[in-house]
Structure 1
């Protein structure tokens, strides 16, 4: 577990001895991984109690080590707990062997998630995260590389002033990772739409399409859980924050910003799901239209040959005396009559616009 001591001007890592949080001017950030906590949960809890003076409850300790826990918020008299599911590198979390192998596009493979737990205590922020976390690693590097700017420079980055602010910064960066997926997901949807509506190549990759819809539905549910957790955190800040009004307003602004980003991801996921559903419906409508065109062509051909079949059936009767039967020009007269009949039928079908749409589609192609 790494111990960050953050003040208004500097950040130190693993300072020995650890600062006394009761008299320190800043706050502590205690950063641990799931593997560290799962290996010795009681030892980790004792370390947290020694540094913060607060003991983590047994049920919350189980929640922290539960890698399938959804996003949620809980508050006690001693601390607040936030569990937030973040994006995880797909190669960092292998799929369980019991799950069947699915053909999911590369863009949707990036939707693998894992939980990160936050414990907000008095002047202490505790995080328990996966081993590979781009957001937390980047935040650590930024804090350690921080250099105080001159007072005249008002545009430089500043250090977080409270555990709540640091947590909201981390949450905001995690949600922004979902926003980065909008472009590849939109491109993947465009490829699905082209594949579904391509008349030259029938679409048969239905299992991959179904898996993609399931992944988008998972993203939808994930954003709902995230938004509910952050909403409960916001309500808790409004009801119980004891700081000055400016600090409270800044926390509410950051909380609202996180919720707004989650809503953007949620709306985008729903738009993608609706667009994909529309593409599937258009695909089946196009298939029904092509089937209708084929049936129309077969119907016209059948209508053209029905009178010809009638004529050949009449001349195939076994009568000794029949018109044109013994006439040397009878065959050609019959063929000419059949040809004229076909032409008349075609003109009739065109007047009824049975062939107009078919001919127009050939002209457009």
Structure 2
């Protein structure tokens, strides 16, 4: 935050140009060249039941294949999406080829599919970057199969799943005593709950702008409003389709989803509906800020015009008098008077002060 709590906008970045590229480049291409190559893939496995838990970090994708036949619940988290590893995991866990292509794609709209022996969910994980005041998103793919949930994400250095990991490490928790479908619910729930954290940060920026606009209605303030409006658009565009994902899970009759878990998906659905409604309200607030900015600029212009009008009106009679005595006539009696100059000055001063008092009394300035 800068002086007076201003929202920082890097001078080296054109927010309009950068955001236009981000909004327009929707590219769900599944070719291997559509995604940046990652140097290393990290695989973390949680294998647990009500009485025990086993946590392993693996560098080789083949190390997790042994967990397929075990009857305990598994969460396999893959950090770093690379085609070679994704193909091996999908082949070993009988994940359909079309779902593999969705995992490998980028910029996908949130979706839910049921193909073969799997339930697939794809949705964005949202982050607020405080340094640049921008909304960033990471595509997360979740695959539910028998006794296992496999998650794929791009960035190994950040996610919102740490509360889930802590609950898994703690004995006696609901997640330890439930099936893989409840684990899927928990992962979806923590992702959706994080949307509210992002909105809180955006709401703080809106409040700051509400204070700045009356004091500094200038071009830089307008740039901040437009910048925030575009971030709200990115956020709303990302989370709105998640509602369809939860609706699909609620209506699913797949055997992998127990009937007792549906009520939990209903809770996440309520949360995402609230998040979408709140994001729309925030977007309307930003639009109102833009209208407030234009109103402030118009008021500022009106104040300037009022001052200029008052000054012009006060000087008009004086201009008439000086214009009359500026005429080049020989016969003007007042020109011969030794006190004429002082009399005219006194009359002009009297008129000016009288008009000034009348304008002041009527509240014109």
Q: Secondary structure at the match of 2:138?
A: strand
TM-score (norm: length of structure 2):
0.76
Matches within 5 A, 1:30-41: 30-35=76-81, 37-41=82-86
Aligned length: 315
In 2: Cα distance, 1:28 partner to 1:167 partner? 11
Cα drift, residue 271 of structure 1: 2.7
Evaluate the alpha carbon distance shift between residue 289 and residue 347 of structure 1 in structure 2; reply closer, same or farther with a 3 A threshold.
same
Matches within 5 A, 1:189-200: 189-199=206-216
**8 A contact 2:76–2:150 mirrored in 1:** yes
Aligned partner of 1:12 in structure 2 is 54
Q: Which moved more, 1:207-216 or 1:79-88?
A: 207-216
**8 A contact 2:167–2:175 mirrored in 1:** no
Cα drift, residue 132 of structure 1: 3.1
TM-score (norm: length of structure 1):
0.76
In 1: Cα distance, 2:307 partner to 2:128 partner? 53
1:174 aligned residue (191, 211, 236): 191
Aligned partner of 2:231 in structure 1 is 215
Matches within 5 A, 1:102-251: 106=131, 108-109=133-134, 111-130=135-154, 131-143=156-168, 145-148=169-172, 157-199=174-216, 202-236=218-252, 240-242=253-255, 247-248=258-259, 250-251=260-261
In 2: Cα distance, 1:343 partner to 1:324 partner? 23
- Unpaired segments ≥5 residues, structure 1: 49-54, 91-104, 149-155, 359-365
In 1: Cα distance, 2:342 partner to 2:196 partner? 76
Evaluate the alpha carbon distance shift between residue 333 and residue 59 of structure 1 in structure 2; reply closer, same or farther with a 3 A threshold.
same
Cα drift, residue 70 of structure 1: 2.3
**8 A contact 1:304–1:342 mirrored in 2:** yes
**8 A contact 2:222–2:290 mirrored in 1:** no
Aligned partner of 1:95 in structure 2 is none
Q: Looking at CA atoms only, which structure, 1 or 2, has the larger radius of gyration?
A: 1
Cα drift, residue 182 of structure 1: 3.7
1:62 aligned residue (95, 101, 107): 101
In 1: Cα distance, 2:317 partner to 2:125 partner? 72
Cα drift, residue 82 of structure 1: 0.6
Task: Note the aligned Cα RMSD (angstroms).
Answer: 2.8
Q: Secondary structure at the match of 2:329?
A: coil
Cα drift, residue 291 of structure 1: 1.0
Instruction: Could you list the structure 1 runs, at least 4 aligned residues long, displaced by more than 6 angstroms after superposition.
Output: none
Evaluate the alpha carbon distance shift between residue 165 and residue 8 of structure 1 in structure 2; reply closer, same or farther with a 3 A threshold.
same
Aligned partner of 1:318 in structure 2 is 328
Cα drift, residue 308 of structure 1: 1.1
Evaluate the alpha carbon distance shift between residue 267 and residue 122 of structure 1 in structure 2; reply closer, same or farther with a 3 A threshold.
same
In 1: Cα distance, 2:268 partner to 2:132 partner? 23
Evaluate the alpha carbon distance shift between residue 223 and residue 40 of structure 1 in structure 2; reply closer, same or farther with a 3 A threshold.
closer
In 1: Cα distance, 2:316 partner to 2:65 partner? 100
- Unpaired segments ≥5 residues, structure 2: 1-42, 57-63
Evaluate the alpha carbon distance shift between residue 16 and residue 186 of structure 1 in structure 2; reply closer, same or farther with a 3 A threshold.
closer
Cα drift, residue 172 of structure 1: 0.9
**8 A contact 1:74–1:80 mirrored in 2:** yes
In 2: Cα distance, 1:177 partner to 1:270 partner? 17
Q: Which moved more, 1:113-122 or 1:263-272?
A: 263-272
Deviations 1:148-194 (A, max 9, x none): 4xxxxxxx555152221101101111122222234332222222222
In 2: Cα distance, 1:346 partner to 1:172 partner? 68
**8 A contact 1:107–1:185 mirrored in 2:** no
